[in-house]
């Protein structure tokens, strides 16, 4: 089954910043999954059941802010997730 992108929206910060200036996007997929894209890299996704799946092996302060706004995870929790390349 092919999954298509239904929409792409700018991620809204959950801290004192007003914007991520288009550097963090959320892609809504046809299968109910939401994918966080930070600086053109798919970082993690939330599946239709609400599970967070890590797609990117790295970490940076700015992408960490994007992750926190997307799913509320800290660096410790995010880096403990196994990396899924699918």
- For the chain, the average pLDDT equals 93
Which tens digits make up the pLDDT trace of 66-81? 999 999 999 999 999 9
What per-residue confidence (pLDDT) applies to 15? 84
Confirm whether 26 is domain-assigned.
yes
Confirm whether 76 is domain-assigned.
yes
Which tens digits make up the pLDDT trace of 29-61? 999 999 999 999 999 999 999 999 999 999 999
Euclidean distance between the first and the last CA atom of the chain, given in angstroms as a whole number: 14
* Separation of alpha carbons 75 and 68, rounded Å: 9
The total number of structural domains that make up the chain: 1
Range of the domain at 14: 5-80
Q: Would the pLDDT of 85 be above 80?
A: no
What per-residue confidence (pLDDT) applies to 86? 67
């Amino acid at each position: 089954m092919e999954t298509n992108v239904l929409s792409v929206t700018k991620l809204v910060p959950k801290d004192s910043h007003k914007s991520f200036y288009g550097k963090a996007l959320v892609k809504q997929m046809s299968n109910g999954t939401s994918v966080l894209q930070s600086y053109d890299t798919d970082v993690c996704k939330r599946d239709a059941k609400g599970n967070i799946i890590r797609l990117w092996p790295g970490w940076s302060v700015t992408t960490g802010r994007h992750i926190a706004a997307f799913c509320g995870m800290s660096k410790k929790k995010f880096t403990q997730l196994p990396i899924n390349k699918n």
